[in-house]
Amino acid sequence: MILARLLYSPIVFCFSRIGFRCQSKQSPALDPHLRWLTPAFFASPGHCSYAARSWRCIPLDQRPFRTYVCPMSQTSDESGPRVHRWTYTAEADEVSLVLPDGCIDVLVSSSDRTGHDLIGVTDWDFSPREVKLLAGTSLIGYRLRPGTTIRLDDLQIGHGDLSDLEAEIDDRVMYDQEASEIIDILGLPDSSVEWAARQQGVSERTLQRHFRNLLLPSPAFWRQLGRARRAVQALPGRAPLGEIALEYGYSDQAHMTREFARWFGRTPVQLRRHSSALNDLAQPGLGNW
């Protein structure tokens, strides 16, 4: 009998990269992150760019995670950064569709006249919503790893540069390694909340309480959104939708269609026709961080 291979990516990554500095991934200059915004407060022109910071790999014997035997599918890269910095300027009035991605962002407005002002932290999205941005809106955002929250008490942003802000945000991040691992495996095609709880040796109710104590959405949220975001990455290819549905753990194509409409506001067929929506969904988030 062939055992399911160990798929938890930090283990594989650390075996191959111990002692080396990880190269951060570079994402295209895109603006999906402001899909989190609420209207108002913003002004002043700027520019749009997207960059990821590098993250140091931790040797295997110094990491506190457990070993999992997971379903045979690929997990997200746990060795990646905990913060992604992005900037965006709206050149004209626009209405954007916010798509849930399992992340929160720290938002800062930028202006030559007023300097930098902290707007706040975005909340979790559980369904698509529309956001109106006014022309001249200029923003700097710091997207946090899926399942990560942050303390913003006493955080001050003045008129100076933001060179130290990202490091300060990283210091304030509230990151639970065990919860991160559970979130990762919940999005796998053959996973379930019951299975994830069993791997931890606890009941589903205990697992739900653990997430609630961390101020995180329920395990079911991570399971359903994670699966949908992984499945949507297969849409740019030519695979039949029925095959994609089965590959990612849906009972059939109709089941996947309902879930896509719930999370992304469009059916798989509609998403395949909207390259901009697929580009947004390809940006780092739950399932593809």
Shared domain check, 29 and 170 = yes
pLDDT of residue 157: 66
* Same-domain pairing of 220 and 143: no
> Residue 13 falls within a domain, yes or no?
no
Mean pLDDT of the chain: 73
Q: Is 268 inside any structural domain?
A: yes
Query: Model's pTM, two decimal places?
Result: 0.69
Query: In this structure, is residue 94 part of a structural domain?
Result: yes
Measured CA to CA, the distance from residue 258 to residue 238 in angstroms comes to: 20
Give yes or no: residues 165 and 187 share one domain: no
pLDDT above 70 covers a percentage of the chain that reads: 67
**Average pLDDT of span 152-173:** 74
| Residues 246 and 163 grouped into a single domain | no
* 270 and 250 belong to one structural domain: yes
Question: Residue 270 is part of which domain span?
Answer: 178-282
Query: Same domain for 230 and 261?
Result: yes
230 shares a domain with 136 = no
Asked if residue 48 belongs to a domain, the reply is yes
Tell me, yes or no, whether 160 and 273 share the same domain.
no
Split at pLDDT 50, 70, 90, the class of 45 is very low
Which of 174, 192, 210 represents a domain boundary (last residue)?
174
Helices (H), the chain: 9-17, 165-172, 177-186, 193-200, 204-213, 219-232, 241-247, 253-264, 268-272, 275-282
Give the confidence band of 79 by pLDDT, cuts at 50, 70, 90. Answer: low
Residues 41, 109 within the same domain: yes
pLDDT at 70: 27
Non-local (6+) Cβ contacts of 164 within 8 A are none
> Coil, strand, or helix at residue 126?
coil
Residues 217-222, mean pLDDT to the nearest whole number: 97
Task: Note the pLDDT of residue 38.
Answer: 30
In a domain, 68, yes or no: no
Mark whether 152 and 139 lie in a shared domain: yes
Q: Of 174, 201, 224, which marks where a domain is finished? A: 174
pLDDT of residue 159: 54
Q: What is the mean pLDDT of residues 75-96?
A: 75
Write out the DSSP string of 19-65.
Answer: TSBPPPP---S--GGGGGPPSSS-------EEEE---BPPPGGG--P
Residues 154 and 198 in one domain: no
pLDDT at 101: 92
Domain boundary among 174, 202, 236: 174
- Structural contact between residues 185 and 199, judged by C-beta atoms closer than 8 angstroms: yes
Quote the CA–CA distance of 164 and 149 in Å, as a whole number.
19
Greatest mean pLDDT range, 88-97, 107-116, 179-188: 179-188
Q: Is residue 72 in some structural domain? A: no
Q: Judge whether 258 lies within some domain.
A: yes
Average of pLDDT values for 97-112?
84
Lowest mean pLDDT among 123-132, 210-219, 239-248: 123-132
Do 250 and 122 have their domain in common?
no
Q: Does residue 2 sit within a domain?
A: no
CATH of the domain at 229: 1.10.10.60
pLDDT at 59: 32
The domain total for the chain is: 2
